[in-house]
């Protein structure tokens, strides 16, 4: 099983301490809700786990992944994919953006074709394939970005504010795609500065508060519903 383990990490910018954490583990099958006020360090934590930043103190190690190339054997890059709130799209149309990402896939050609069909269907991109990516709305851009990640079938995926500032239809589609990735055993770390329906998919919560990261186990949506029925029956 693929996982990232952070031990005794601290992140500072100059004299300002952003956060500390004694132990964090992000594994396949985990669906973690990362909460905290704006500016508390949610995006920074994701970038640490993605290997885009280094902690001021402590270590983050990857376990269970395929052996990396010799020239970056100690790198976290490429282990947990990070999808920014405002994703970068390549110049060109939607179809080009999808096909370009497939070049980096390790899946068989048959599975690549199957996932391409699924990605276009789930993200409702079939009528947008010839549209230039620069003309897409915020919700359409996020759906395209998530579809690109879908094609790679990641073991671990981090989503930074995935449903903020988008219309209700796009929110529903993105939530559905995230639910499907959970069903496929992709480990998910989902950040938000406010509670949303995505928390119903999660089994754990990481919270950044007062410069510390705490972890709490959560009921899944189904477990919570069952618990409410038991309480009502009593």
Q: What are the pLDDT digits (tens) for 114-150?
A: 999 999 999 999 999 999 999 999 999 999 999 999 9
Q: Report pLDDT for 57.
A: 97
For 9, the token pair is: 């990490």
Q: Report pLDDT for 226.
A: 36
Q: Which of 103, 173, 172, 168 is nearest to 144 (CA)?
A: 173
For 142, the token pair is: 């996020």
Report long-range pairs for 173-178 (Cβ below 8 Å, ≥24 apart). 173/122, 173/123, 173/124, 173/139, 173/143, 174/139, 174/142, 174/143, 174/146, 175/201, 176/122, 177/122, 177/123, 177/143, 177/146, 177/147, 177/150, 178/146
Q: What are the pLDDT digits (tens) for 17-61?
A: 999 999 999 999 999 999 999 999 999 999 999 999 999 999 999
Beta bridge partners of 80: 156
CA dihedral (187, 81, 77, 202) positive or negative: negative
Q: Report pLDDT for 73.
A: 57
Q: What are the pLDDT digits (tens) for 50-102?
A: 999 999 999 999 999 877 654 455 578 889 999 998 889 999 999 999 999 98
Complete domains list, the chain, with CATH: 3-233 (3.40.50.300)
Q: Report pLDDT for 220.
A: 54
Taking the C-alpha atoms of residue 50 and residue 107, their distance in angstroms, rounded to an integer, is 21
Task: Please give the model's pTM, rounded to 2 decimal places.
Answer: 0.88
């Amino acid at each position: 099983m693929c996982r990232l383990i952070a031990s005794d990490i601290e992140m500072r910018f100059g004299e300002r301490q952003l956060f500390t954490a004694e132990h964090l583990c992000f594994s396949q099958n985990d669906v973690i809700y990362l909460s905290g006020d704006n500016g508390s360090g949610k995006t920074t934590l994701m970038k640490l786990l993605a290997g885009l930043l280094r902690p001021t103190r402590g270590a983050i190690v990857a376990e269970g992944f395929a052996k990396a190339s010799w020239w970056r054997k100690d790198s976290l890059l490429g282990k947990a994919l990070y999808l920014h709130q405002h994703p970068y799209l390549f110049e060109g149309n939607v179809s080009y953006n999808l096909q370009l990402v497939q070049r980096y896939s390790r899946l068989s050609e048959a599975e690549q074709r199957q996932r391409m069909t699924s990605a276009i269907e789930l993200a409702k991109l079939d009528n947008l394939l010839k549209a230039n990516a620069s003309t897409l709305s915020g919700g359409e851009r996020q759906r395209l970005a998530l579809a690109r990640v879908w094609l790679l079938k990641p073991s671990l995926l981090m989503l930074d504010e995935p449903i903020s500032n988008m219309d209700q239809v796009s929110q529903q589609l993105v939530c559905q795609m995230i639910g499907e990735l959970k069903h496929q055993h992709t480990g998910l770390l989902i950040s938000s500065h406010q509670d949303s329906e995505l928390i119903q998919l999660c089994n754990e919560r990481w919270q950044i508060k007062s410069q510390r990261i705490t972890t709490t186990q959560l009921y899944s949506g189904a477990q919570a519903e069952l618990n409410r029925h038991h309480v009502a029956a009593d």
